[in-house]
Structure 1
C-alpha cells in the first residue's frame, strides 16, 4: 500500500513538473514572439513611402557616394510628372531620381561628363524611338564625335522592388547597387574580361566593340550591400 501511495505521489510530482516546464516554455516563447513583433513594428515605423519631391531627392542621392550627396545635382520626374532639376549641385556627379510613375525603385548616379550621352538617350525616347533605334543613332553620333563618352566614366544604379525608405539609415528597403564602367569600343580581348559573368559580383564586359561597351559589376544575390 505504501509503495502504491509513493508511486502515485511521485507520478503526480512528475506531471506537475512537466506541466510547469511546458508553461514556462510557452511563456518564454510568447515573450520572444512579442519582442520580435516589437522589433518588426519598430522597423516598419522607421520606413517612409516615397510620396514627395523631397523624398525623391533623398532617395536619389542614396545612389551617389555619401561624401558627395550634399553637392550632387538631382534631375528627374517630380511627383507631378514633369522632368525637372530637383536639386542644384556642383560636384562631379549627376543623379537621376526614381520615376514615381513606375513600379519599384530605380535611381542612377553618373559622372557629369556622361550627361550629353544620357540626355541624348532621354530626348530620343521622348521622340518615341525604340531601344534599337536609340542604340544605332548614338553609335553613329559617338563615332562621329558629336557625343563623347569618357573612357572609365562610372554609373551607379540603385534599384529594388520597394518604394519605401529609412530617412535615418539612408537606404531604400530591399535596394541594391549595380555598377557600370564605360569603356567605349573595348572588347573582351582588349581589356581581358569575359562577355558573360563568371559569378555574381564578378566584372564582365557588355556590348563589346560598340560605343556602349561597359564593364558590369552586379551585386550578390539575396544580400544587401
Structure 2
C-alpha cells in the first residue's frame, strides 16, 4: 500500500496554508490529441496524464523551457506548442540516450526545439538562458550512475547550481517523480528508481530555490513504494508527486 514518508507529510502540511493545491487541469485536449505528436509518445498518455502535469507546470507562450533528460521528447513537443514560435524548448539528453530518429521527426514539426546533447556530466545551461526547467520522472537520476549505460556519477549540488544560474529571475523548476521511501538516496535510486520528495525539497532549498507549489494529483494509494518502477505490477501506475520551485 501507498506510504507517504512522514518527513514529507509534515513538510507539506506546514506549506498547505500558504500554497494551495493545483487547480483542476485546463483544457489541453487539443495539444494532447495533436496527431503530429509521435505515436510512441501518444501511447503513453493514459499513464502519464499530461493535462495534469502541464496545468501544474503552467508554461506560457513565449517562454524558454529546458526539459531535463527529455528522452524521446514526450513533453518537449507539447511544450513547444504551448510556448509557440516566440518561445523555445531545450531538450537535454546524454549522448547515449539521444534517439536521432525521434528527434528528427519532432524537429521537423517544431522549429522552436533545440536539443542539447552531451555527456551526462556536461549537460549545462547558459546563465540566464531559460524561464523554466522541467524534470519529469528524472530528478532521481541525479543520484543514479551506471557503467553499463555510460552514465557517470553526478555531483548533485553542481547540477542544481547550474539550474539556478540558468534561470532568469523568478524562474521555476517543475519536478515530477515517483514517490520513494526514506533511506540512503543513492541506494534507493539504484534499487527501485524512486526518490523521497523530502530529499528533492532539501536539495533544491540548499541550491537557493523556494518551494511554491505541490500537488498529489498523480498519487496512487495502491502503489507499493518499495517496488521498482520497472516492475510490471506497477509500471506506468506508480504514485507520483509534483513540486514547483522558484529561484530565490
Same fold (TM over 0.5): no
More helix per residue = 1
**TM-score of the pair, normalised by structure 2:** 0.25
TM-score, structure 1 length as denominator? 0.27
The structure that has the greater radius of gyration is 1
* Bigger RCO of structures 1 and 2 (CA < 8 A, at least 6 apart): 2
